[in-house]
Each structure stands twice: as C-alpha cells, then as structure tokens.
C-alpha cells in the first residue's frame, strides 16, 4: 500500500517523481504529494485525490530542484485530507518524509515530542516519525568534524531504534541539498541505479523507464543517496555490499496499449502469461513438471505427510484450488489457512509438514508474517510469487516464480490463473514422485500445455459476455456457486465482482445453497453456476432447479457437451471441456470478463476501486 518515489540526478525532479507516481497509483490513490529542495527551504506540494490533482497543484509552483521525494497514499492513520497527505514536514521545517507502513507506538512518541515543543498539523503516525527525526537531528552534534549528511543518517538511525511497526521511508533535510536517506522494515523499497542518477521506489514499475538496474533493500537497511553514489548500512552500522539485479521486463510490459483498462489488458494477457509460467518446466519425457528453485529433494517431498498453504484474498482462493488438486492427484492431505490468521493460531502440525505461501507481490505483510512464523517453528517454507527480489521470495527456503510480468490492475487476473497453473504443476510434480503412472503424467502435461489455447477460445466470447453483463449491471446482489475445485473459483468470481463493481456477492459450494443462502434468492438476485460435465452434473442441475423454482435468474458457465434441461438457465456461457487439472483456469476467465464488463457498465473505476490497493503491506 502507498507508493514512494525518490530521485537524485541532473534532471528536474518533479516531472520524474510525478511520472513514477502515475505508475504507482494502483498502490494508493487517496492523495499524492512531493517535496523538493528549494534554495534554503523544503517545498512541499500535496493534494487529496488522484495524481492528476497533484499535477494541477504542482503547476502553480516553480519546481527546478534535481532532488526530491514523493508519495501516493492509501490512508491508514487519519482521514483523506490535504493535511494528512504525504510528504510531511517537521514542525521546525528541517525534515520532510514520505512513509509506507504503520508506526504502532506513535501515540507514546507523540506525547514525548509534545513535551519538547514539537507541534502537529495532521492525524498521521508519519508526522510523528518526521518530528522524531527532527528531534534527533537537532540533538546530533555538528561541531565534532561530522558532516551534515552524517548527522541526517544518524538521526534516522536513532529514530528507527525507537519505533515499533513497519516502514518504508525516504527523508530530505533542508541542510543537505541533493541527498536522500531511506530505510525499510516490512515495507518494500527498491533502489534504482541509473546513468548519473539514483531513484527510490516501492515498486520497480516506477523506475523501469529510467533504469533496469536495481538493488532490493532488505529489512533493517538504511541507504544514503548523494550525487556521487550510494551507501547501504544496517541499523547497527554494518556496511552492506549492494547486489545490483537486472529487471527482466521493460516499460512496454507495463503500458496500457490499446485497452481501456489494465484489468482488461491483463485478462487478455492470460494465454501468454500461462505460457510463460510453464516455459521450461516440463521434463524431457513430457510426463511431469519440474521446478528449478524449490531447493527440496524428491525424498524430502516424499517424506512430507502434510502440506500447509497460506495466502490472502485472491491468493487464498488459489491455495484452495491447490488443496483440491494436490489431494486429488498426489494423495497428500492439504490444509489451507488465511495467512492473516495463521500466526495467531496455535496450529498442531506434524514435524513433516511442508509450508507454501502464495503472494503475487511477494510483499503481502500477513503472508510474510505467516512465512516467518512457520520458519520460526522449524518448518521449511516454499513461496509461489510473481515479483523477483521480493521479500517473500528472499526469505523463503525455495519457491516458484510465476513470470507473468507486472500486474497493474488492483483486481488480480493473470496472476491468479498463473497461481492456478503453478498449483496444477505442483500437484503433478508430487504425484509423479508417488503413484501417478507415466501415461497419466503425459496426459496431464498435455492438458496443461493446452490451457493457453483454451483460454484464447473463451476470450473470443468477450463481446457476448459483455451483453450479459450489461443486462445484470444494476443488480445489488449476486451469488456464485460451484463444487469441488470450482468452489474456490466461485469465491474468486464473487470477490472480483465485489472489488470492482461494489455489488454484494458471495461464493458458495452449490450444495450449500439450500442450507441458508437460498433465503436470498429472488428475481433480483441472480446466481452464477459452474456446471462441468462429470459425476456431479445432475446434482448441480438439481441445485439450479431449486433456484429456478424461486424465480431466481441463472447464468450458467457450462462445459461443452453438457446438456442442460431446456429453459433452466437464463444465460449460458460455454467453456471448452478439459482435463480436471486446468478446469479452474478455464472456468475463471468468464467470471473475470463478467465482473469487468459489469463494472464498466456501472461506470466504476475498474483499475482503482475504492478503498483498495494492489499490495497490502500493512497489517
């Protein structure tokens, strides 16, 4: 949550900062602001609303500085007001700060600072942090041969020893032209190393147009940027040798192109995203999946008697699909837990349990906390995530990168189906180590390879699904119903609709409808049913008839070859008949399109839904 951009170089900082904020706006869009050196003072410009509001406000100022910091906010402490927008200035005007995270002990620090004469103009924990840095800066001696910039670094260091919580910060000081001090703990911060310029950002996408060379800062690290270069130390003053990585995607991958929204683009990106997820990950004999980064032997896999999956939101739904596929094909019991709940529960687990965490960003704070809790208790933890160099990727014992490229839309689409693909491949990988036959493995692999083309086939129905969406765009409630591996897809369909159209929606196992939710059914509450061929087809049809008997409208997503009774469904969306391993992937696409087109018909801001942000980095 929240986006940070910083710049030191030879160009005017303001335009570069604003361009970076535009690319990070999916991380928060309650307000935006920037701070630059302006002669002998710090100039702060900030405004509630989108970055476009900041652009208008900034145009009223002459901003020629080549050093600055900026921020786009997702509100945590304090309402959405100009005063609460970042950057914040200390009451003496010496320090400016932008911050992503939550300072949990801000109240006690604020009480202390009030006794020292500091004043506050906002409700935020960030202004408290800013004034604490100013307090230490004023106390830090400057007459012992130390430079002003070392005073600033030490002031930030001393401040961070007193705070509890999470932070990614960038700091300017009026006495230190052309310098930035930044630090992180539990909130992502990345250093970009360009030609005669340095950048800071909470996501690579903010700097990819200027450099592909980045340093992923770790928790507890402080970086000091000057025109001559940068230096990284830890909180305990240990020097850190930086590792410069090269980003493997370009700015074009994060551009909107001819699409109306990033969500639309990413829905249609899914065939290629699935191909990238699978690329190079099948054995030469075509009978199993292979992964290069798991860092676990086949014997350790065989010795595991239980898998535990943790995730949040959409990733949790992917974990539920993984549970079904692994139990179905590999015959290993799987437990799925909300990452946000796991570390607060005293879960009894066998010593041979193997942990998996899922997170598109690799920075989800609750998932990271679950990972650390599992490791603390001695369990091996593997990660499934999309962002190379992310905190979860670094701290896990091994894992799988999704390789789907940047996902900008707040409502996850291509990352989710990629997670389903990784889950299906993982089920195959373990099943072939246990009792799945060679021929069944070959059939499974061929099914996985067919998924991109089957998704393309579903996408050809976009115009037809748009018509259906417009018909139901004004309902206030909707139910999504599926069974087995399609129950999590029902949950995901309901979440997508809630996220971007603000329609109340719920997902249920189809057979559970009669145990309570059927009370909601009326002609004003349509139901979306997943109706695949197979042993449960007739039972799902019976559930549909229960809805129809109560005048409920039905949208049926039906595999080809399945014959529904006449007039049972009001709308039918056919999907290709396919192998069980990829059915959740194929069935997901119609509900993505349905939700997208409903949101468009309602005039919603699809890529920036209210109250949401892409990466949840606060607890």
CB atoms < 10 A from the CB of 504, how many?
A: 15
CB atoms < 10 A from the CB of 290, how many?
A: 14
Contacts of 308 (CB under 8 A, 6+ apart): 334, 335, 336, 337, 347, 349, 353, 354, 355, 356, 374, 379
As a whole number of angstroms, the distance between CA 201 and CA 365 comes to 18
Are 289 and 446 in contact, with CB atoms under 8 Å apart?
Answer: no
As a whole number of angstroms, the distance between CA 533 and CA 517 comes to 25
As a whole number of angstroms, the distance between CA 412 and CA 480 comes to 18
Q: How many CA atoms lie within 13 A of 300 on its CB side?
A: 12
As a whole number of angstroms, the distance between CA 108 and CA 288 comes to 57
Q: How many CA atoms lie within 13 A of 63 on its CB side?
A: 27
Please, what is the end-to-end C-alpha distance for the chain in angstroms?
11
Pairing mode, if any, of strands 554-559 and 167-173? Answer: unpaired
DSSP string for 291-351: -SS----HHHHHH--EEEEEE-THHHHHHHHHHHHHHHHT---EEEEEHHHHTTS-----T
Residue 154, φ and ψ in degrees, nearest 5: -70, -35
In the DSSP assignment, the letter for residue 165 is: B
Contacts of 242 (CB under 8 A, 6+ apart): 191, 215, 230, 232
Least Cα distance to 179 among 155, 210, 208 occurs for: 155
Structure tokens at 253: 């991958």
Q: How far is CA 427 from CA 180, 288, 533, in A?
A: 47, 10, 22
As a whole number of angstroms, the distance between CA 257 and CA 265 comes to 8
Are 183 and 219 in contact, with CB atoms under 8 Å apart?
Answer: no
**Helix, strand and coil in the chain, % to nearest 5:** 40, 25, 40
Catalytic residues: 2, 614
Q: How many CA atoms lie within 13 A of 407 on its CB side?
A: 29
């Amino acid at each position: 949550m929240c986006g940070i951009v910083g710049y030191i170089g030879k160009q005017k900082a303001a335009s570069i900062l604003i361009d970076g904020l535009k690319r990070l706006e999916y991380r928060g869009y309650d307000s935006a602001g920037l701070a630059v050196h302006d002669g002998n003072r710090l100039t702060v410009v900030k405004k509630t609303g989108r970055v476009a509001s900041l652009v208008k406000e900034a145009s009223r100022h002459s901003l020629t500085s080549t050093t600055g910091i900026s921020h786009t906010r997702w509100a945590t402490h304090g309402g959405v007001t100009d005063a609460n927008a970042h950057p914040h200035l200390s009451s003496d005007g010496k320090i400016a700060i932008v911050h992503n995270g939550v300072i949990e002990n801000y109240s006690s620090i604020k009480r202390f600072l009030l006794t020292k004469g500091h004043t506050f103009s906002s409700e935020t924990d960030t202004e408290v942090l800013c004034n604490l840095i100013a307090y230490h800066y004023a106390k830090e001696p400057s007459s012992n041969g130390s430079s002003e910039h070392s005073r600033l670094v030490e002031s930030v260091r001393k401040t961070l020893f007193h705070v509890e919580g999470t932070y990614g910060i960038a700091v300017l000081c009026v006495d230190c032209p052309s310098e930035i001090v930044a630090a992180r703990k539990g909130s992502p911060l990345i250093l970009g190393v360009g030609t005669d310029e340095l950048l800071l950002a909470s996501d690579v996408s903010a700097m990819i147009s200027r450099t592909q060379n980045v340093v992923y800062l770790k928790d507890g690290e402080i970086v000091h940027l000057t025109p001559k270069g940068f230096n990284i130390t830890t909180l305990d003053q240990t020097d850190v040798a930086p590792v410069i990585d090269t980003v493997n995607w370009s700015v074009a991958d994060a551009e909107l192109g001819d699409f109306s929204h990033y969500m639309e683009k990413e829905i249609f990106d899914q065939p290629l995203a699935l191909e990238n997820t699978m690329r190079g990950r099948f054995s030469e004999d075509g009978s199993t999946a292979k992964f290069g980064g798991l860092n676990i032997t086949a014997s350790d896999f065989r010795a595991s008697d239980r898998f535990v999956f943790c995730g949040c939101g959409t990733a949790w739904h992917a974990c539920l699909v993984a549970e079904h596929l692994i139990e179905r094909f590999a015959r290993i019991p799987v437990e799925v837990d909300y990452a946000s709940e796991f570390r607060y529960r005293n879960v009894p687990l066998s010593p041979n349990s193997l942990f998996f965490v899922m997170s598109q960003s690799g920075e989800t704070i609750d998932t990271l906390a679950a990972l650390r809790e599992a490791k603390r208790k001695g369990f091996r933890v593997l990660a499934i995530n999309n962002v190379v160099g992310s905190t979860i990727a670094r701290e896990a014992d091994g894992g799988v990168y999704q390789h789907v490229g940047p996902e900008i839309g707040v409502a996850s689409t291509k990352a989710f189906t990629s997670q389903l693909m990784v889950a299906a491949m993982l089920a195959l990988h373990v099943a072939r180590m246990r009792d799945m036959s060679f021929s069944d493995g070959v059939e499974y692999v061929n099914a996985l390879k067919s998924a991109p083309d089957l998704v393309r086939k579903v996408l050809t129905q976009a115009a037809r699904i748009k018509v259906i969406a417009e018909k139901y765009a004004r309902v206030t409630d909707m139910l999504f119903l599926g069974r087995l591996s399609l129950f999590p897809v029902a949950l995901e369909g309901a979440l997508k609709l809630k996220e971007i159209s603000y329609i109340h929606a719920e997902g249920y196992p189809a057979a559970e409808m009669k145990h309570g939710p059927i009370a909601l059914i009326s002609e004003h509450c349509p139901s979306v049913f997943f109706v695949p061929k197979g042993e449960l087809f007739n039972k799902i049809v019976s559930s549909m008839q229960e809805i129809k008997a109560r005048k409920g409208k039905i949208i049926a997503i039906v595999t080809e070859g399945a014959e529904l009774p006449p007039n049972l469904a009001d709308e039918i969306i056919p999907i290709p008949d396919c192998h069980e391993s990829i059915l959740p992937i194929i069935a997901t696409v119609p509900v993505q399109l349905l939700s997208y087109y409903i949101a468009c018909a309602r005039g919603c801001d699809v890529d920036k839904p209210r109250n949401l942000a892409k990466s949840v980095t606060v607890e």
